[in-house]
Structure 1
Amino acid sequence: MLLEEFEPSPAVIEPTDKAIRGGGEVCETMIFSFNGEIVDRVRQMPESRESGYLESINGRHPWYILERDGVRVAVMLAVVGAPMAVGHLEELRACGFENFIVLGSCGVLDESIEADKIILPSSALRDEGTSYHYAPASEEISYEPALLLAMEKALNQAGIEHVRTKTWTTDAFYRETVDKVKRRLAAGATVVDMETSAIMAWADFRQAKVYQFFYTADYVDHHKNEWDARREERTADCMIFFDVAMAIAKGVTNESI
């Protein structure tokens, strides 16, 4: 099987290659948001400024630096999908960023989990392709436990409620069949996303510090074989989730002092 050919040796193209274009001013912590509205609103803040960018055939991918309550962070839009998300994380780490706070929405497989809840993915089922190039083949993968505990500590100190659970990472959101959902639930996954297992494998391979959380969105109803977008239930302003990321950034900064 091709996906069992993991090799830890250096690649022909490495993210540190001088031919990789992009760069700019960096800081210690990057908030990597899959929610474009969050990035747009940060961009419009008077204390925010564009400070650098990555570049691809899709165009420029800028990041913005701002300081709030003594915490300095960069904020950048994360492109949906494991290959591009990990590719950008590779290049951002090569630019000099050290801590990565990753946030975005996730689908719910368990109806009892309400919309707009904060989820910490403690492990992920690997139903995507990218992770198999960063870690040996396996059913699932997880983050370094110390990083998860540091994130939980920061959230607890900020009084932010959260749930720790396993996620199902899949490349094909239009192929979440009833039987697959049942099997993923039986394996312990209660939410679904598109990048986490790949980011976990990358973080372990590169020894990168990643602090990832979700906020719950739609419900994949395997009982009725229906998709519930839960639009009426998703009432939280997206900047609430940015505040969660800032709380983690503050905790991470305090830990490193």
Structure 2
Amino acid sequence: MLHKNELPILEFDDSYESVLMPDHEKLGIKLPPKCVYGFLADHIDDYARENKAKKIAEFESATKDYPVYLINHKGCELCLIQAPVGSAPAAQLMDWLITYGVREIISTGTCGCLIDIDEGTFLVPTKALRDEGTSYHYVKPVRFIDLNPLAKSAIEALFKEKGLKYKEVVTWTTDGFYRETKDLVKYRVEEGCEVVEMECSALAAVAQMRNVVFGEILFTADTLADVENYDERNWAKDSFAYALELAMDAVCKI
């Protein structure tokens, strides 16, 4: 049923069927249930090449194609794919993966700090503020969305096994990378947000609607904790490879 509203973004339609479904191409592929969905620059393609991973599918978009790799990680079969930056393209591709068989997803990528957190600190988001547009097409409008407790438990169990320090956080998901104003940063901190990124709430909404498990491992890059002196630091480049290993370990624990 379509719920009309003066604001188009709040006009949620709870019908499961849409005119164009993610499997409209009828590709006939079957992906493994476990998936690592990473915002990790070239590290996924590099890892796949170095470990002789098999390309089992490919998502074609208007700008580039995204290969889906099959990996056997410590006896656990999973698929591995680079995620596009931004809530809309990231949600579109993840929805496509789900349609072709993915059921348990761990994503990983960088975030910006809104409070003082050291660069390269690993974080487990427990909920995300929905300041993006995509999630409102998947679940009813509410301010925050909770992340799946099963995925969260798997990630935290892994971190504890490894003796890895981490922090649970509330994340602010925004579409406006260049619109994180001083007043907005202050307001988001006041309502409990500690980091900012561009996809988490949208991906959580896709997973919730499609009834699959989704969790995310974030790690800190730049910082907006001092809005008068923005610091991009080193964009946490030294943590990318380790984040990929953690995500693969975590999805295998679900």
- TM-score when normalising by structure 2: 0.91
Other-structure match for 1:74? 79
In structure 1, C-alpha distance between the alignment counterparts of 2:134 and 2:162, rounded to whole Å: 34
Contact 2:35 2:106 in 1 (8 A): yes
User: Structure 2 CA distance, aligned partners of 1:154 and 1:43?
Assistant: 23
1:143 equivalent in alignment to 2:150: no
Distance 1:144 1:62 in 2: 26
* Partner residue of 2:23 out of 16, 25, 36: 16
CA distance in 2, matches of 1:204, 1:160: 28
Point out where structure 1 has 5 or more consecutive residues left out of the alignment: 253-257
Cα gap change, 1:81 to 1:160, in 2 (>3 Å): same
Q: Structure 1 residue 49: deviation in Å?
A: 2.0
State the partner residue of 2:182.
Answer: 178
Contact 1:23 1:52 in 2 (8 A): no
| 8 Å contact kept, 1:154–1:250 | no
Q: For residue 3 of structure 2, what is the aligned residue in structure 1? A: none
Tell me what 1:43 maps to: 48
- The residue identity in structure 1 corresponding to 2:14 is P
SS of the residue corresponding to residue 163 of structure 2 reads coil
Check the 8 A contact 1:49/1:66 in 2, yes or no. Answer: yes
- Does the aligned pair in 1 maintain the 2:154–2:251 contact within 8 Å? no
Unaligned regions of 5+ residues in structure 2, if any? 1-6
Q: Give the letter for the 1:102 counterpart.
A: S
Which residue of the partner structure matches residue 28 of structure 1?
33
Aligned pairs, number: 247
For residue 229 of structure 1, what is the aligned residue in structure 2? 232
Once the 2 structures are TM-superposed, how far is the Cα of residue 213 of structure 1 from its aligned partner? Answer: 1.1
Counting aligned pairs with the same residue, the percent is 30
Out of 154, 159, 166, the residue aligned to residue 155 of structure 1 is 159
Contact 1:124 1:142 survives alignment (8 Å): yes
Amino acid at match of 1:37: D
Alignment of 1:195-234 (within 5 A): 195-224=199-228, 226-231=229-234, 234=236
- Could you tell me whether the CA contact under 8 Å between 1:143 and 1:203 is conserved in 2? no
Q: Displacement of 1:230 after TM fit?
A: 0.8
Residues 216 and 5 (structure 1 numbering): CA distance in 2 closer, same or farther, change over 3 Å?
A: same
CA distance in 2, matches of 1:13, 1:44: 34
Task: Verify the 8 A CA contact 2:135 2:201 in the aligned structure 1.
Answer: yes
> Residues 145-194 of structure 1: CA distance to partner in whole angstroms, max 9, x if unpaired?
23322322233233332211100010011010111000000010000000
What one-letter code is carried by the residue in structure 2 that aligns with 1:57?
Answer: A
Task: Give the residue type in structure 1 aligned to 2:104.
Answer: N
> C-alpha offsets along residues 49-108 of structure 1, whole Å, 9 cap, x if unaligned?
222111122232101112132122211110001011010011101111121111110000
What is the TM-score with the length of structure 1 in the denominator? Answer: 0.90
**What is the aligned counterpart of 1:238 among 222, 237, 240?**
240
1:168-225 Cα shifts (integer Å, max 9, x gaps): 010011010111000000010000000111111111111111121111100014442x
Give me the whole-angstrom Cα distance separating, in 2, the residues matched to 1:221 and 1:28: 38
**Deviation of 1:25 (Å):** 5.5
Q: 1:64, 1:57 → 2: CA distance?
A: 20
2:251 maps to 249
Q: In the TM superposition, what is the alpha-carbon distance from 1:234 to its structure 2 partner?
A: 3.6
Q: How has the CA–CA distance of structure 1 residues 147 and 68 changed in structure 2, closer, same or farther, with 3 Å as cutoff?
A: closer
1:229 is paired with a residue of what secondary structure?
coil
8 Å contact kept, 2:110–2:236: no
SS of 2:157's partner is helix
Kindly indicate whether the alpha-carbon contact (under 8 Å) linking 1:52 and 1:62 is maintained by their aligned counterparts in 2. Answer: yes
CA contact (8 A) 1:31 1:245 kept: yes
CA distance in 2, matches of 1:5, 1:235: 40
Once superposed, what is the RMSD of the aligned Cα atoms?
A: 1.8
